[in-house]
Chains A and B, each alone.
Chain A
């Protein structure tokens, strides 16, 4: 379902609006693109806590919107559990099934979710995802120029 708002053209800045700044979206796209090139990773998406898909690289058959809603819900539960159990912020998580694995990276900006094959190198992807999440945390702390 599309958001109820209409998307706008980047040239439609009204007079007096904040001067356009480089968006974080480019950093998100680059981060996801690097991760989806890892061996065994089929694709992924970055979704904000409210469920907005910032960027996705999933094969066409994947139900992006449904997956985004579930990934955002899972990311929030992981965050809330870490807080309630006083474990500090959750960084990464992986959940494996018979036919593959889902990885989730948590950051203030949102959640990086990767869908991977069964025989993926869990440790390798987790390490790469951890680095990516650290970069995303950096984009949140650093005010946009």
Chain B
């Protein structure tokens, strides 16, 4: 190798090392890493990309996605809003805000985001799936009554260690729950939302309406039963097997003489 070639290659190598990377190349690579589950690497590149070019919508969108992955919802919301500040009709940002509204329990706030996303981008199956799901959700009717007789705790064959017994209507009307008023509220809302989203998922998979559910937590396992009108839930010891727990919740269902 001649001296000139050597010097040229050396100079080229040096300039290559210090050559600033474009924001778009950083974001492309960050998105690739995100698809590979390399979130920490992706986050570094996005931070660098936004430092170089703070007004690129896709950078803020990727930033929002990573905040969601890390469950940093206020930051995710802020990043999705930055995307809309740059592109008011960005369907993915609208969809992201819809999902955050949904998990905050703000159903009315969720709907306009989904509607706008689909209005500007009709071929959007994820948004359509959520739009169709929330369209079926109705608010409790004022003074809604239940066909369930008076709940008599003595009549119930509550298994030992059972807790968080809850009975709600599919529209969210709380019929009965154990615990403090605050806990009853959380139980009722959670059971209703789980039932609604699980039903939509089962229906989308072509399996029919949800009848039974089992949620295994760190300390206990919650068993659910529904006939489409009401949802009954009870938490039992974590080690209770699926079949045995469903039998127990079936007994409670009978004891409550549920007729939706």
Check A68 against B216 for contact (C-beta < 8 Å): no
Report if A33 contacts B (CB, 8 A).
no
- Chain B residue with minimal CB distance to A18? B41
Q: Which residues of B contact A52 (CB under 8 A)?
A: 34-35, 65
Q: Tell me the chain B residues, 111-162 only, with Cβ under 8 Å from chain A.
A: 121, 123-130, 133
Check B213 against A5 for contact (C-beta < 8 Å): no
Q: Which residues of B contact A28 (CB under 8 A)?
A: 37
Instruction: Name which of B2-10, B195-203, B251-259 contacts chain A.
Output: B195-203
Report if B174 contacts A (CB, 8 A).
no
Residue A51 contacts which of B16, B36, B99, B224 (CB distance < 8 angstroms)?
B99
- Expressed in whole angstroms, the minimum distance between the Cβ of A121 and any Cβ of chain B is 9
Report if A143 contacts B (CB, 8 A).
yes
Residue B205 contacts which of A25, A102, A126 (CB distance < 8 angstroms)?
A102
- Expressed in whole angstroms, the minimum distance between the Cβ of B219 and any Cβ of chain A is 5
Q: Which residues of A contact B31 (CB under 8 A)?
A: 3, 5-8
Interface size class of B (residues with CB under 8 A): 35 or more
Check A25 against B193 for contact (C-beta < 8 Å): no
Take A14-B29, A50-B96 as given contacts and tell me if A99 and B37 are in contact as well, using a CB distance cutoff of 8 Å: no
Q: Tell me the chain B residues, 214-258 only, with Cβ under 8 Å from chain A.
A: 214-220, 222, 224, 235, 241-243
In the complex the two chains form, what is the Cα distance from A66 to B205 in whole Å? Answer: 9
Take A1-B123, A78-B215, A95-B210 as given contacts and tell me if A54 and B92 are in contact as well, using a CB distance cutoff of 8 Å: no
- Expressed in whole angstroms, the minimum distance between the Cβ of B77 and any Cβ of chain A is 12
B interface footprint on A71-109 (CB within 8 Å = 1, 0 otherwise): 111101111111011011111111111111110000001
In the complex the two chains form, what is the Cα distance from A69 to B193 in whole Å? Answer: 15
Please name the 4 residue pairs, one residue from A and one from B, whose CB atoms are nearest each other, closest first. A88-B218, A24-B37, A23-B36, A66-B129
Q: A1-B123, A66-B126, A78-B194 are in contact. List 16 more A-B contacts (CB 8 A).
A: A4-B92, A5-B28, A16-B21, A23-B38, A65-B126, A67-B204, A70-B130, A76-B103, A80-B190, A88-B219, A92-B215, A95-B202, A97-B202, A101-B207, A122-B243, A126-B242
A residues with CB within 8 A of B = 1, 3-8, 10, 12-18, 21, 23-25, 27-28, 48-52, 54, 62-63, 65-74, 76-82, 84-85, 87-102, 109-110, 113, 115, 122-123, 126, 130, 139, 143-144
